[in-house]
Amino acid sequence: MSDRFTLPRDERLAMSFVVNVEEGSEQSIASGDKAPEPVDELGVALKIPIRNYGNESNYLYGIRAGAPRVMRLLDRFGFECTFTAAAVALEKAPELARAVAAAGHEVCSHGHRWVHQFSYKEDREREFIRAATDSIERTTGRRPYGWLSRYLLTDNTRRLLVEAGYEYHMDDYSDDRPRWEFVETSDGKRRGIVIVPYALDTNDMKFWLAPGYTPQLWLDYAVDTFEQLYSEGRDRPGIMNLGLHLRIIGRPGRIGALERFMQHVKSRGDVWVTSRLAIARHFAKLNPVE
């Protein structure tokens, strides 16, 4: 099968803003976990069963202060994006869930909680997917059709997603263009799911992982990535991913870099800024399963 990928109005590039919503679904003693989540900005990991109230408030910053900044920029530029949300995070932030839905953004499932799904056996993973799907539908009014795990997937993940009605999967970093992946479902049928690859190099998590990484360095790298893909798109359109987190990019010293990147994207008239579901469905239409 061919993997044809042209864009709806012959744009050069599909631009995918991905806003991860994890705050409130992270590891914590209050949620019954054995230890609290490591402190993001410091990398401090407590190995004892003590509640880290300070770090819980650090996550809450993403909802209270970071989310309004990100939502204002998306509204100002008129950009449609994908919110990869851990279901419990939206349950705990119903105002954000309603705002995302009202603005017409897609919500992709980032699991039920922001936990290590890759350790689950098949039955537990199936229930994890079902719980996430049902929860997001309750909080936003629409069920998710895309999935992003925390870090890793299992040998069963894609089959379970297909069986649960998912149309695309993000746990892949192998290309700048979508493709089909086929699985054999429990009823013996061969069925496909669209792989919409993600990217780590343009992710704002660099601010934690690379000491001395500044908003200007992140912006420069993002613009360079955009320009290279935009140039290549004259003959072979692809996707640019920009992974964001409310509690990271939403800080006062970083949000300006996102604003300047959005201005750069807006300056190009032939860029399709859209959701990952729209990309997946467009690809599937161009490459129908026989």
Closest by CA to 104, choosing from 287, 279, 278, is 278
The vertex-48 CA angle with 43 and 53, nearest 5°, equals 65
- Are 280 and 241 within 8 A, CB to CB? no
> Exposure pattern of 191-209 as b/e (b: 16+ CB <10 Å)?
ebbbbbbbbeebbbbbbbe
Tell me the two tokens of residue 90: 């939206």
Nearest-angstrom CA–CA distance, 180 and 52: 43
* Other C-beta atoms lying within 10 Å of the C-beta of residue 2: 7
Predicted local distance difference test score (pLDDT) of residue 121: 94
| The pLDDT value given to residue 208 | 85
pLDDT for residue 66:
98
Task: Report the pLDDT value the prediction gives residue 2, as an integer from 0 to 100.
Answer: 65
Cβ atoms within 10 Å of 47's Cβ, excluding its own? 8
Which whole-number Å values give the CA distances from 15 to 122, 164, 225, 252, in the listed order? 34, 27, 11, 24
CB atoms within 10 A of CB 67: 23
Judged by phi (left if over 0) then psi (alpha if -120 to 50, else beta), residue 165 lies in: left
Identity of residue 276? R
pTM as predicted:
0.95
User: Which CATH number is associated with domain 13-286?
Assistant: 3.20.20.370
Both structure tokens of 188: 């013996």
* pLDDT of 112 higher than 80: yes
Residues 6+ apart with CB under 8 A from 72: none
* pLDDT for the residue 38: 83
pLDDT tens digits, 120-171: 999 999 999 999 999 999 999 999 999 999 988 999 999 999 999 999 999 9
Q: How far is CA 62 from the centre of its chain?
A: 15
What's the mean per-residue pLDDT of the chain?
95
Question: In terms of Cα–Cα distance, which of 112, 110, 119 is closest to 82?
Answer: 110
Minimum mean pLDDT range among 102-106, 188-192, 272-276:
188-192
* Domain residue spans of the chain: 13-286
Euclidean distance between CA atoms 154 and 146, whole angstroms: 16
pLDDT of res. 44: 79
Q: Per the structure block, which two tokens stand in for 95?
A: 């105002």
Quote the CA–CA distance of 78 and 87 in Å, as a whole number.
25
Distances (CA, A) of 254 to 5, 96, 204, 245: 33, 21, 9, 11
Pairing of strands 168-169, 146-147: parallel
DSSP state of 1: -
User: For residue 51, what are the β-bridge partners?
Assistant: none
**Contact between residue 238 and residue 232 where contact means Cβ atoms under 8 Å apart:** yes
E strand or H helix at 184: strand 179-184
